[in-house]
Amino acid sequence: MPVLFAFVLILSLGSENCAATYCGETNIALQTDKVYEFSSVGEPSPAPGTTYSCLFEGYAPVGQKISVLCHPGAVMYDRNCSYAKFLYSPSGDTDYADAVTYCGYTQALNFTTLTNRVALKFIHTVPKDVILSGYICYVGTPPPTLIRTTATIRTPTTATSTQTPSVSNCDCGFENPGPRVAGGGIASTAEYPWMVGILKNGKNRLSCGGSLISNQWVLTAAHCMTDETPENVEVVLGTNLVGLNQQSGRRVKVSRVIIHPYYRPRYMKDNDIALLKLADRVTYSNRILPVCLPYNLRHSDYEGTYGTVTGWGSVGELKDLSEVLKDIDLRIMSYEECIVYYRGMGFYKITDNMFCTARPSQGVCKGDSGGPLTVQSKGRHIQLGIVSWGFPPCTDPLNPSVYTKVTNFLRWIENNTHETFCKVN
């Protein structure tokens, strides 16, 4: 498999685009009210082991600051910056003395420079047989809300935006991140706007996680809803803070709970999937959006790649739940690899409706149940899994985490919600 990576800079001039290839371009004179695109495209890169840098350095007229919106361009796990890292200097320093470093496909950034200068750098060590990720960056003198978007990149809006809210399920899977430092593990406010916390019996204490899949339906695990009645359940959306001491986000009552008919809580853990119908439809915004469902990924092989799991679960077996939403990237295991760990476990059998992720020193834990595992495709998060079960302790690498395979239940979701879901991926 060849390694593909290059950069393109596009100058947006109204309805006309002038494209030229740049790598290492400096001292670019940025024109007022024009938007420049700095992005990765599929072009052959140097041989494996080669390290090189691509630059975007320029200046605007005196007195003008420069807006930059960057979003990951591909799926790749590189939390430790082993292969690729993205640097930007808030002051436009071309020596990058004050540079902030990003790596890994979950990071994105949106900032305005402190001066009229901009300095962006991508440092890349080419591994063997890996398609490397890059960053799609939009650079210009207008504010971020005016920066041009593409089919796969959506400009985050502010909380006070006057734009008409979207009602389309095709506006799915887009992060709304604040600046992130690689490996931080704590999600910024509304970074994952489909993330749902499930509360029971009027308490502030979180019970499970879930994901918004339309403006009236939440996807979660069946074991989270066993013996529950709708009047005892509500969800909280639009926040990364949930817990005894937190009151942010929007709370919505649940009017209906649908558990898969073949889920048996005392027999195996198969068909661990449920739907919650919200009593009121929610309005999409930068804080509340659905995740995409994996319609066109049903036959894709994600073994060996990394998925992002989000939740408010505890960070250890005997520790309290987190009040701040956390994320972690975990490697998706093959079916054959997973069943080795659970062979001879009686009722706890790995079925074709499940898949597993390897646990490093940290994994999903108490309180993460029902939450989503997503992968990225063309700038969108696609939900492949629902956190289902695993053996304690949750930090034991010999006990992989197990997920419900969402691709096997798409027809069931459609039949029960009567919704039309977007097949964007």
Half-sphere exposure of 343 (CA within 13 A, CB side): 7
Based on the residue annotation, tell me whether 369 is a catalytic residue of this protein: yes
Distance CA(56)–CA(134), nearest Å, equals 14
Catalytic residue (one of 270, 272, 327, 368)? 272
Based on the residue annotation, tell me whether 124 is a catalytic residue of this protein: no
Catalytic residue (one of 211, 285, 314, 369)? 369
Based on the residue annotation, tell me whether 299 is a catalytic residue of this protein: no
Q: Within 10 A of 273 (CB to CB), how many other CB atoms are there?
A: 27
- Residue 37 vs residues 22, 42, 110, 136, 141: alpha-carbon distances, Å: 11, 15, 14, 7, 13
Closest CA to 366 of 399, 402, 318, 406: 318
- Residue 193 vs residues 21, 65, 291, 292: alpha-carbon distances, Å: 35, 29, 8, 12
C-alpha torsion 398→394→376→379, nearest 10:
-150
Residue with tokens 């079960």: 389
Q: Is there a contact between 151 and 127 (Cβ–Cβ < 8 Å)?
A: no
For 292, the token pair is 């995409």
Distance CA(124)–CA(55), nearest Å, equals 11
Distance CA(383)–CA(404), nearest Å, equals 11
Distance CA(373)–CA(311), nearest Å, equals 10
Half-sphere exposure of 371 (CA within 13 A, CB side): 30
Catalytic residue (one of 124, 223, 260, 381)? 223
Active-site residue set: 223, 272, 369
